[in-house]
Amino acid sequence: MSKNLNRIVFLFFSVLVLVSCSSPKPVLSEDKTKTITIKETLHDTVFKIEKDSSSFKALLECQNGKVVLKNVTQAEPGRTLKSPRVRLENNKLSVDCELKEQELYAFWKSQQVKEVEIKTVRTTEFTNVLTFWQKVQIWLGRIFLLVLFFYIGKPFFKFYRPF
């Protein structure tokens, strides 16, 4: 009987030692905030096209009351313009000079992606931490309670024998 009681007390004491009180470790809490900013910009531009010209020079002459071209002295095309078309009909001079239509306006979009991540780390600080002497007193109190339970339970187990 006393062997069983000693084993129970030893087991109880071992469990108390294993589940001893320990000081809490500081808790780290981390907050992450991620912000994505997309900035879209519209750009435009105007293309400047330099001036262009073409020329035509000719000598005119009257023959039988009608005007005719006598001699073409100069016909120059421009950079993009062709030489002008010249027509002389019924004493009327027609000069045509054409330039095809050109696109002068252009635009485009650009995107700027800005990604910002903010990390906030907080630690908990404990203000009331037990000193070494306070921990020794707690352990001595536990040992005293174990010994007290042992001496209180010993007479009880002497009278009550389960076997």
81-137 confidence digits (pLDDT tens):
777 777 777 767 777 777 666 667 777 888 888 998 988 888 877 778 788 899 899
Partners of residue 57 on adjacent β-strands: 74
Predicted TM-score (pTM) of the model is 0.31
Residues 38-92 pLDDT 10s: 898 888 888 777 777 777 777 778 888 777 777 776 777 777 777 777 777 776 7
SS3 for 108-157, per residue? EEEEEEEEEEEEEEEECCCCCCCCHHHHHHHHHHHHHHHHHHHHHHHHHH
* Token pair 């108390």 in the structure block, residue: 16
Q: Is the predicted pLDDT of residue 163 greater than 60, yes or no?
A: no
DSSP-assigned letter for residue 80: S
All residues at 6 or more sequence positions from 17 whose CB lies less than 8 Å from its CB, including other chains = none
DSSP-assigned letter for residue 83: P
Q: Is the predicted pLDDT of residue 143 greater than 80, yes or no?
A: yes
Instruction: Give the pLDDT confidence score for residue 110 in this predicted structure.
Output: 87
Instruction: Give the pLDDT confidence score for residue 100 in this predicted structure.
Output: 66
* Token pair 């519209």 in the structure block, residue: 42
9-13, 87-91, 143-147 — which is least confidently predicted?
Answer: 87-91
Mean of pLDDT values over 12-31 = 71
Instruction: Give the pLDDT confidence score for residue 137 in this predicted structure.
Output: 92
Structure tokens, 46: 């105007």
Instruction: Give the pLDDT confidence score for residue 85 in this predicted structure.
Output: 76
